[in-house]
Structure formats: C-alpha cells, structure tokens
Amino acid sequence: MTEQNHALPDADSFDPSASSLAGRVDQAVMDELLSIRSSIDNIDATLVFLLAERFKATQKVGVLKATHKLPAGDPGRESAQIERLRRLAEEAHLDPAFAEKFLNFIISEVIRHHEAIAEGHQASIAQA
Amino acid sequence: MTEQNHALPDADSFDPSASSLAGRVDQAVMDELLSIRSSIDNIDATLVFLLAERFKATQKVGVLKATHKLPAGDPGRESAQIERLRRLAEEAHLDPAFAEKFLNFIISEVIRHHEAIAEGHQASIAQA
C-alpha cells in the first residue's frame, strides 16, 4: 500500500515524553502520565500492525470481487459485522456506538480501496 | 463504559456467511470469500478488545488530568504520536495518511471522554 521503507531513519526520533504540559505539571503527576502513555504507545503500535493485516485481507477480497465483477460493498455482510462488533464491544466494556462508528470508518476506507482495485482491473482489461 | 453484559444472548446469532451476494456467486468464489472474511472477523474481535484496553488507559489519563485541572488535549503529545504512527504504518505497509486519520479519529473520541470526565469532576466538587 506504500513504498518499502528501507532505512526507518526516524526510528529514534520519537520522544515518548513529548507534551505541551512539560514543566507546567508536578514531576510525580508527569511520571504517572508518561507511564500510562507508554502503555498507550504499545497498544497503538499493535493497532497499526493489526490494521495493516486487516487491509491485506480486504485487499484479497477486493481482487476477488474485481475478478468476478462483484459490487464493492456487501450490505448483508456489513450489518452482520456491526451487530457482532456491538456485542463484542459490550463484552469488552467498550461503548457499542463507538465500535459501530469505528467499523463504519474502516469499511468506508475498504470500499474506497475496492473501487480503486475494480477501476484498475477494468483499465487492465480495456488495455488487453 | 457500558453496563455489564450478563447473558450475551446474541453470542450464537452471528452468521459468518451473511452476505447480500449469497446465491449470486459461484460456490468456489463464495468459499474463498468466506475464508478471508473469517480472518477479518478474528482481526476485528482483536481490534475491539485492544481498543477497549486503550480506552481503559486514556480513562486513567482523563481522571489524572481532571484531578490536576490539566487541559483535555495535549498538542505536543498528539503531533509526536502522529509522526510515530506514520512511521510505523510505513513499516507495516499501511497507508500513513490512513494511520493519521485513524489516530485523529481515536483522539477526538478520547478528548470527548476527557471533557466529560472533567465536567463530572467539576460537578462533584461543586456538590461537595
């Protein structure tokens, strides 16, 4: 989806203690804040790699749909997904409305990809 | 964030083969589609539980900020997070622009929570 990153030149440039609050807060409060933020940073890295894996899967679906001329969206599938994610969110004590908003956010990106794959597929057929 | 779910009555109601394409596609194509979708469903469950964990962490940050009357947002932190997530996205072959959009989506929800916590905190002080 993006070009290979060979050097990762910025790997050491992230400052986990970057904050507009620096110097304006007690050190003990800042230490507690940074400790929680370090867990958030670990979770965010996991989310990015997991989302990358999800888009690898939906990319395969996009190629399958383009090859067989199927529509980019699948409303029957989407409503089953939303109902399941709302239930899982309740189990995880996450706001189900947020889980639904999150899935819609992801699905709209996926559909955009599927349409791009389908257009590319049509263009390559036209050229052949 | 949501009330305890005791019964999980819908646990068996999810149909992983739900699709508006059912009966309109070759069985072999449908089988391949369902196989990829089963991986997507596993990834989505992981995302929901991971997001729940992330909100548990940001909830702690919200309480800390409300207790010490710190602002809900932290622009210095947010720009460091965005730069790091864009770099991780490149490493994962995920569109960095999407990773940034994703983080902004999450952060705007978090700030909404922090403001609600701060309002609740102010209200409880006013009552005391």
Contact criterion met (CB < 8 Å) for B43 and A54: yes
DSSP states of B52-109 as a string? HHHHHHHHHHHHHHHHTT--S--HHHHHHHHHHHHHHHHHHT--HHHHHHHHHHHHHH
Q: Measured between CA atoms, how close is A50 to chain B, in angstroms? A: 7
**A11 domain residue, yes or no:** no
**B34 domain residue, yes or no:** no
Query: What pLDDT was estimated at residue B84?
Result: 97
CATH of the domain at A105: 1.20.59.10
Local confidence band at B65 (pLDDT 50, 70, 90 cut-offs): very high
Judged against a pLDDT cut of 70, whether residue B8 lies above it is answered with no
Residues 13-52 of A with CB under 8 A from B: 13-16, 18-22, 25-26, 29, 32-33, 36-37, 39-41, 43-52
Q: What angle do CA B14, A116, A76 make, to 5 degrees?
A: 20
Q: Is B90 exposed, middle or buried (0-12, 13-18, 19+ CB in 10 A)?
A: buried
**B9 domain residue, yes or no:** no
**A13 domain residue, yes or no:** no
Of A4, A61, A77, the CB nearest to B18: A77
Query: What pLDDT was estimated at residue B9?
Result: 47
Query: What pLDDT was estimated at residue B64?
Result: 95
Query: What pLDDT was estimated at residue A118?
Result: 87
Nearest-angstrom CA–CA distance, A126 and B28: 26
Nearest-angstrom CA–CA distance, A31 and B45: 32
**B98 domain residue, yes or no:** yes
Nearest-angstrom CA–CA distance, B43 and A51: 8
This prediction has a pTM of 0.85
ipTM: 0.85
**A47 domain residue, yes or no:** no
Of A16, A81, A93, the CB nearest to B2: A93
Judged against a pLDDT cut of 80, whether residue A128 lies above it is answered with no
Judged against a pLDDT cut of 70, whether residue A90 lies above it is answered with yes
User: Cα A45 from chain centroid?
Assistant: 11
How many domains is chain B partitioned into structurally?
1
Structure tokens at B21: 């394409």
Nearest-angstrom CA–CA distance, B15 and B62: 38
Do the beta carbons of residue A55 and residue A68 sit within 8 Å? no
Average pLDDT over residues A69-88: 93
**B73 domain residue, yes or no:** yes
Query: What pLDDT was estimated at residue A11?
Result: 58
Judged against a pLDDT cut of 70, whether residue B95 lies above it is answered with yes
Structure confidence by residue, pLDDT tens digits, A23-76 = 889 999 999 999 999 999 999 999 999 999 999 999 999 999 999 999 888 999
Q: Chain B residues with CB inside 8 Å of A2's CB?
A: 89-90, 93-96
Q: Chain B residues with CB inside 8 Å of A49's CB?
A: 88, 92
Best residue of B93, B103, B105 to probe chain A, by most A CBs closer than 10 Å: B93
Query: What pLDDT was estimated at residue B7?
Result: 46
Q: Return the minimum-mean-pLDDT range out of A105-109, A120-124, B59-63, B65-69.
A: A120-124
Give the structural domain span for B71.
55-127
A47: number of Cβ within 10 Å:
21
Query: What pLDDT was estimated at residue A126?
Result: 84
**B123 domain residue, yes or no:** yes
Question: In a 3-state reduction of DSSP, which class is residue A17?
Answer: coil
